[in-house]
Structure 1
Amino acid sequence: MVKCLLVDDESPAINLLENYIKRLDNFQIIASCYSAIEAFEVIKKEDIDLLFLDIEMPVLKGLDFLKTLKNPPKVIITTAYREYAIEGYDLDIVDYLLKPIPFKRFVKAIDRYYERVQLPFKNKLEKKADNSFFYVNVNKKQIKIIFDDILYIESLKDYVRIHSKNQRLVVKSNIGKIEEQLSKSLFLRVHRSYIISLDKITAFTQKDIEIGNIEIPIGSSYSTEILKIISNS
């Protein structure tokens, strides 16, 4: 488990990083801090593997804070300012992310973290790293479902319908159990009755998502976080 500490004086920036990290397996957010002083207290008590650090903060700036640490964790800088990049890399940071941070760029930074600690990214990003598929029981037969083939999944009370590129399968299961078998970085629950494949989205509005010519509603309780994640994917 990679233990993370987030440090930024702006709530939206913290919220975005929290959303991104929650989509990765094997990552744990130990604390989210709004100042370097607060972060210093956390680092004294906890073993942190990866520090996401803003630069422009009141009282103590991020890079000045980093210089005070005798044995700092691996660091990914998150900032709106380009001009500190050279100084950051001089401090041996893993990566330098410019806000606003798209999810794809965030994933690249995580990849670089794994390169630093000599762990293969593909074996750590997903809980089921060796699997790009799962099996479902249909008419007493185990059918392989390839992640990349899935368009979306629909709940039908005690059943689910899996819509894929080449077929539609009705499976006796609930959508929560199916969700547990899916990759968090590839799929997203957008409604109590729907899970969608992120890379199959062709368009979206505040109320629905389009996959090809299919419109899938966004649940009201999901909408704020879902739109934030999709917009930054």
Structure 2
Amino acid sequence: MAELLSKQPNGQPLRCLIVDDEPVAIKGVVNFINQLDFLEVSGTCTSAMKATEILKVKDIDLMFLDINMPMLSGLEFLESLDKSPLTIMTTAYSAHALEGFRLNVVDYLLKPIEFQRFFQAANKALDLFQSRIILQNNKEESESDMYIRQGDTFQRILWEDILFVEGMQNYLKLHFKDKTFVIHQTMTSLEEMLPKDSFFRIHQSYLINISKIDSISGGRVFIDGKQLPVSRHRKEDLLKTIVYKKLISK
């Protein structure tokens, strides 16, 4: 946790924008930000329209956005942005949490905001920000190919082309768009070889490429026309992983 509080990789605090139509609420968030050396206030405003203008001229890393505002709500404003900074929603109504989850917000804080929850959400935002930087720096260096044994030969494949992996007793089936390979390997050993931020074990017998998901409905994941079962205790973790991946790759 100590490293988490060491600001950005460049040593600078995260630049914050506070958007809330209540001046008292803005003052409260400013006060909390001033308690943390890894955050700084870069701007405040009382409407989504003013926030739009600020985002055009300032580099903002983290936005504290109120949901209930006149003319344009925080949710409507966030949905209108092509590219938004990391965002923590603030609201007096817990019912908005699900909608915020859909929009990939970092966290949502219920008013009146307690410092402990603010601190937790701020640390989460810093962690995500640092993860984005690491992901960006490693993109060019990451290896995307691997070799699998097929009889007496070794077949080169791109792991990013794998749709999903199916476990069948003592071997695995690697499903691609137009082909399938069978390999003698355990699911656990293959899972350790593949990038953990791209593959997720949804079931004892299925490992999926998160980027290939078409939809999730009930207890099923749909990939390329195939229905794959999701273990009940893994579905929530899957949704969180998808949101996290979207956040760090924006």
TM (normalized to structure 2)? 0.53
Larger Rg belongs to: 2
Residues 206 and 223, structure 1, Cα contact 8 Å, conserved in 2? no
Counterpart amino acid of residue 173 in structure 1: Q
- Structure 1 90/68 Cα, relative in aligned 2: closer, same or farther at 3 Å? farther
Q: Say whether 1:171 aligns with 2:183.
A: yes
Q: Say whether 1:187 aligns with 2:199.
A: yes
**How far 1:198 sits from its partner (Å)?**
1.8
Counterpart amino acid of residue 132 in structure 1: S
User: Which residue does 1:66 correspond to in 2?
Assistant: 33
Which stretches in structure 2 are left out of the alignment for 5+ residues? 42-46, 63-84, 90-99, 107-124
Q: Say whether 1:97 aligns with 2:86.
A: yes
SS in 2 for 1:221: helix
After TM superposition, which residue ranges in structure 1, 4 or more long, deviate above 6 angstroms? 50-56, 83-92
- Structure 1 173/199 Cα, relative in aligned 2: closer, same or farther at 3 Å? same
Which stretches in structure 1 are left out of the alignment for 5+ residues? 1-29, 31-41, 76-80
Residues 206 and 227, structure 1, Cα contact 8 Å, conserved in 2? no
Q: Deviations over 1:3-56 (max 9, x none)?
A: xxxxxxxxxxxxxxxxxxxxxxxxxxx2xxxxxxxxxxx68x964557799979
For 1:196 and 1:140, the matched residues in 2 are separated by 27
- Structure 1 158/199 Cα, relative in aligned 2: closer, same or farther at 3 Å? same
User: Which residue does 1:222 correspond to in 2?
Assistant: 234
Counterpart amino acid of residue 97 in structure 1: L
TM (normalized to structure 1)? 0.56
For 2:136 and 2:149, the matched residues in 1 are separated by 27
SS in 2 for 1:215: strand
- Structure 1 112/227 Cα, relative in aligned 2: closer, same or farther at 3 Å? closer
How many residues are aligned here? 179
Coordinate RMSD, CA, aligned = 4.7
- Structure 1 224/47 Cα, relative in aligned 2: closer, same or farther at 3 Å? same
